Structure 1
Amino acid sequence: MRLKTIRTPLVATAAFLAVLAGAPAHAEEPEPVSGDIVTAPGLELRGEMDGERYDVWANVLGLQPHGTEETLVVYCIDIRTPLDTESPYTEGEWEESEVANLEAVRWVLFNGLPNVGAEDLIEASGAEVNPDWSEEEVNEVAFAGTQAAVWHFTDAWDLLTDNPVKGGNNGEDEAVLAIYQHLTEDTGRVPDPSEFTVDLEGEEAATFEDGRFGPYTIRSNAGPVTLTAEGGRLETEDGEEVATLDDGEEFWIALDDGENEITVSGTAAYDLPVGRVFLATTDESLADDAVNPMTSGESQKLILAQPREGEVPAEWKFALDAPSERPADAGGAKLPTTGASLSIAFAAGLALLVGGMTVIVVGKRRTTSDH
């Protein structure tokens, strides 16, 4: 028999948690990333801008952050301005760069190189990889198609549909154009990390049956949620232990012996390119004031294509009373009281900062008879 839940007054307590990815909550935001630009040969593209022909080289660009050996993929977001290869580049704000259409550019980066592999991107666009291309040439084609799509949104530049690649008679024409069209037609929207939430539904309607409470439903727009519990076990409908749940999936709570409270923790992890913009600087400004660096004059602006990893943490605390046997003339059984918890929406900044408000609501247990 499935028992209904009697709603009871709630006693609420609130706590503020500031969570910093990989660092204590009190840590300050790190200084902006700075590094040196490296280039490799690319493809020359034929296009139009402001109603006139405008051809441009899509050289493969990389940023080597100071103090590391890695090279990050970056794209030009300022087609009219020459690249500054003599000065270091440092991270700046998108708003300060005065570049348009961040949402569309994010979508292009999320669905272009390197977040989608070069061969996979070419095939996803409907084009074919020439078996005679080297790995380097495959990468050049994927980069050029993605760069062309970025310029379409940042600079209102359009790739020609007729011979878009100079000398691209070996399949480059078709592949670059296909990628460009794939990334500019029906552009979707990649959410900002501040919009990611992990929540829980069903705490007020949950019931007690067969020794456990539930069901509770996970709500997440940040991807699968990894769950752990202290004070009990989380189970699927079939009694299997829960590890990870997707949005809309349910779990049940089985308390440990002697326990009447349980804390459930959840974490959703995401990868998201966030449009980190890099501007050329002077060595002096990096040494003296890296937070507000002076630019080294008119130089091309770049955007980082690599994704940023982040997490959305959540926590729910429950005070649960299982029904006890009562004499037949008592008119009913003691029903469970469930405590509800929180909904967390964390805003993430460029420094991988994840912070937010955690509200813990614990149900007040009381003995209630159903008459």
Structure 2
Amino acid sequence: MRLKTFRAPLAAAAALAAVLAGAPAHAQDEDRPVSGDIVTTPGPELRGRMDGERYDVWANVIGLKPHGGDETLVVYCIDIKTPLDTESPYAEGDWEESGVPNLEQVRWVLYNGFPNVGAKDLIEDSGAEVNPEWSDAKVDEVAYAGTQAAVWFFTDDWTLLTDNPVKGGNNGEDEAVLAVYEHLTEDTGRVPDPSEYVLDLDGEESAAYHNGRFGPYILRSNAGAVTLTAEGGKLETPDGQKVESLFDGEPFWIVLDEGSDEITVKGSAAYDLPIGRVFLATNDEALSGDAVNPLTAGESQKLILAQPREGEVPAEWKFALEAPTEKPEESAKPQLPVTGSGLSLAFAGGLALLVGGMTVIVFAKRRRATH
């Protein structure tokens, strides 16, 4: 008899694990919000329109220097009408808390804008030219201004003028800033939130045993290449090669180690995205952990992190497998395993299942991404 694969909604899975295992199942413990201080460098004044009227604004280059770190991270304003608070620390908050629209489009702008695309490359990809007389800092300033203008287009419904968009702009600034802005606001795509990434398997119901291996199992992932490892056996491609990584829709087979009747398969997909972490002004009391409300944005400008961070989408599957007893006349036919179970879980929560009278606990945690 082959055991079926049972699944449960993620929200219910953690509760089920708590009941059966006697302890709560958690995703990885959250650290305190990342916090830092604001630094600015003067940038150009951009000429635009908002709510049907002229609205000019300075596109100063804004940086966030995280507490305890040396690197200054590039951030953008997502709140054009509110003054920037350079005296208070800023702490990581939620997009929903910020009340700013169009997160997916803003992510796309950041992913395709500066600094994720080099300043010179961004300007040239936009169809403009880099003035050879510009310093490296000037090139960065122009690319930043064009990207900031595109961010404001989606967060504040602000539009950059096509006629003299940079006040006092000369030596190609006007053309370059406008070109970057138009490049990032035309045909804008979407960059998904990492919570949308999924690792899973198909084939548990149809996998068969043939020539010493079980399968095929089909990897399902929208997070790109997935690195796979196994304990208690090995994974093979259709032609018998060792599996190290697979993409969505690619199959693999399981070969158990001698004397083993179970295997644990672990998958991991890495992503590197500017996921739109919002930063809000706060105070020292809140950062100390003494305040009831850790974030007090008030009337200070909201910011969004532009630079990417690395993250991981992990998953784990455990299979209990037993090869069927083959009769000579049936040896050439693929056969279903006598027992087999695939316990799969994406990267949130925990899952506890009763399989054949045995409690099996599988936890998969999302690693907290770092800068």
TM interval, shorter chain, is 0.7 to 0.9
Against the structure 1 CA distance between its residues 215 and 129, is the aligned structure 2 distance closer, same or farther, given a 3 Å change threshold?
A: farther
Distance in 1 (alpha carbons) for counterparts of 2:103 and 2:211: 52
Contact (CA 8 Å) 2:165, 2:178: kept in 1 or not? yes
- Residues 235 and 253 in structure 1, CA contact (< 8 A), matched pair in contact too: yes
| SS at structure 2 position matched to 1:168 | coil
Superposed CA deviations along residues 59-99 of structure 1, whole A, max 9, x for unmatched, are 11101112221211111111112212222222233233222
Q: Deviations over 1:123-174 (max 9, x none)?
A: 3323333333222122112111110011111111101112212333322222
Structure 1 residues 168 and 325: alpha-carbon distance in aligned structure 2, compared to 1, 3 A threshold: same
The answer for unaligned runs of 5 or more in structure 1 is: 1-6, 19-23, 347-354, 365-371
Alpha-carbon distance change, 78 to 239 in structure 1, aligned in 2, over 3 angstroms: same
Q: What is the rounded CA distance, in whole Å, between the counterparts of 1:56 and 1:90 in structure 2?
A: 25
SS in 2 for 1:123: helix
Deviation at 1:363, TM superposition (A): 8.5
Partner of residue 232, structure 2: 231
After superposition, the Cα gap between the structure-2 partners of 1:358 and 1:124, relative to the gap in structure 1 and judged at 3 Å, is: farther
Root mean square deviation, CA, Å? 3.1
- Residue 158 of structure 1 aligns with which residue? 159
Q: Normalising to structure 2: TM-score of the pair?
A: 0.82
Alignment correspondent of 1:267: 268
Residue aligned with 1:75, SS: strand
Deviation at 1:122, TM superposition (A): 2.3
1:336 paired to 2:329: no
Correspondence 1:101-112 to 2 at 5 A: 101-112=102-113
CA distance in 2, matches of 1:360, 1:129: 61
Partner of 1:87: 88
Contact conserved, 1:199 with 1:342, CA < 8 A, in 2? no
Bigger mean CA offset, 201-210 vs 138-147: 201-210
1:66 matched to which residue of 2?
67
Q: Using the alignment, how far apart are the partners of 2:96 and 2:72 within structure 1?
A: 25
Instruction: Check conservation: 1:202, 1:216, Cα contact below 8 A.
Output: yes
Deviates more, 1:232-241 or 1:200-209: 200-209
Distance 1:248 1:127 in 2: 41
CA contact under 8 A between 1:324 and 1:334: conserved in structure 2? no
TM-score by length of 1: 0.82
Structure 2 equivalent of residue 357 of structure 1: 350
**1:336 alignment partner, SS class:** coil
2:362 aligned partner: none
Cα distance in 2 for partners of 1:297, 1:106 equals 24
Deviations 1:225-277 (A, max 9, x none): 11001111111222221111111122122222222322111111222333322
Give 1:30 shift: 2.1
> Could you tell me how far apart the structure 2 residues matched to 1:263 and 1:84 are?
51
Is the contact between residue 237 and residue 251 of structure 1 (CA under 8 Å) also seen in structure 2?
A: yes
Moved more, 296-305 or 262-271: 296-305
CA distance in 2, matches of 1:35, 1:356: 30
Q: Secondary structure at the match of 2:43?
A: strand
CA distance in 1: counterparts of 2:353 and 2:291, whole angstroms: 40
- The corresponding residue for 1:319 is 320
Q: How does 1:266-285 map to 2 (within 5 A)?
A: 266-285=267-286
SS of 2:181's partner is helix
Report how far residue 211 of structure 1 moved: 2.9
Relative distance call for 1:143 and 1:290 in structure 2 (3 A) is farther
User: Residues of 2 paired with 1:247 and 1:116: CA distance?
Assistant: 27
Task: Give identity over the alignment, percent.
Answer: 71
Give the partner amino acid of 2:349.
Answer: G
Q: Give yes or no for contact 1:109–1:115 (8 Å, CA) kept in 2.
A: yes
- Could you tell me which runs of 5 or more consecutive residues in structure 2 were left unpaired when the two chains were aligned: 19-24, 358-371
Equivalent position of 1:250 in the other structure = 251
1:87–1:296 CA contact under 8 A, matched in 2: no
In the aligned structure 2, how far is the partner of 1:150 from the partner of 1:261?
51
Deviation for aligned residue 1:298:
2.6
2: CA distance, partners of 1:11 / 1:250: 18
Contact 2:208 2:334 in 1 (8 A): no
Aligned to 2:182: 181
Q: Is the 8 A contact 1:10 1:361 kept in 2?
A: no
Query: Equivalent residues in 2 for 1:24-43 (5 A)?
Result: 28-43=29-44
CA contact (8 A) 2:47 2:56 kept: yes
SS at match of 2:44: strand
Matches of 1:90 and 1:332 in 2, distance apart? 63
Aligned length: 344
Q: Secondary structure, in 3 states, of the residue corresponding to 2:195?
A: helix
